[in-house]
Amino acid sequence: MPIISVPSVFLTTIAAGALWRKFGMSFWQTLMRWSGVHRDDGNLRIWPILVHGNHEINQCQVYLKDGRVLNLLNGPAYIGQPWDGLLLGDDGSVLMVVENEYMPNGSVIEHGANFDAEWGTSLTYVPASEVSRVIFTLKKS
């Protein structure tokens, strides 16, 4: 008898999970929406979710309040360097490798080599107070 009960418990669990995914979850979300209960996790700020999330950032553009745009266009090239070329602060600050920079007048400044075997990796710190907008290209890690 116990040999039969193990597979039946397993199959019942799988069936319950499938029914939940197909019908129960959408019903529950509709019920929560109708009742005015939000489905967030209590963290009302997106930045900490991004900072502590399980994502691989391949590209990053930081728009500054003075009109400049700092670009990290090849993030995977800096894997293994300090902070893999990009560090996002909890306060909204950014520490990043800057490969090129768009100026307000439309010109582009190429920053050239950001890594030197003797000196290390060149990183730019941008305080949160100077950041206007940030655009990422993400992949789930």
Q: Are 79 and 115 in contact (CB under 8 A)?
A: no
Provide the residue ranges of all domains of the chain, joining segments of one domain with +.
1-39, 46-140
Q: Which of 67, 78, 56, 76 is nearest to 136 (CA)?
A: 56
Predicted pLDDT of residue 36: 73
> Which residues 6+ apart lie within 8 Å of 39 measured at CB?
29, 32
DSSP 134: E
Q: Are 72 and 138 in contact (CB under 8 A)?
A: no
pLDDT value of position 110: 94
Chain segment 1-36, per-residue pLDDT in tens: 566 788 888 899 999 999 988 888 788 877 877 887
Choice between 14 and 83, residue whose per-residue pLDDT is larger? 14
pLDDT-derived band at 127 (thresholds 50, 70, 90) equals very high
Which among 81, 87, 62 is positioned nearest to 72, based on CA atoms? 62
The matching CATH number, chosen from 3.80.10.10, 3.90.79.10, 2.40.30.20, 2.30.30.100, for 46-140 is: 2.30.30.100
Q: What mean pLDDT do residues 109-116 have?
A: 85
Classify residue 40 by its DSSP letter: S
Q: Does residue 42 register a pLDDT over 70? A: no
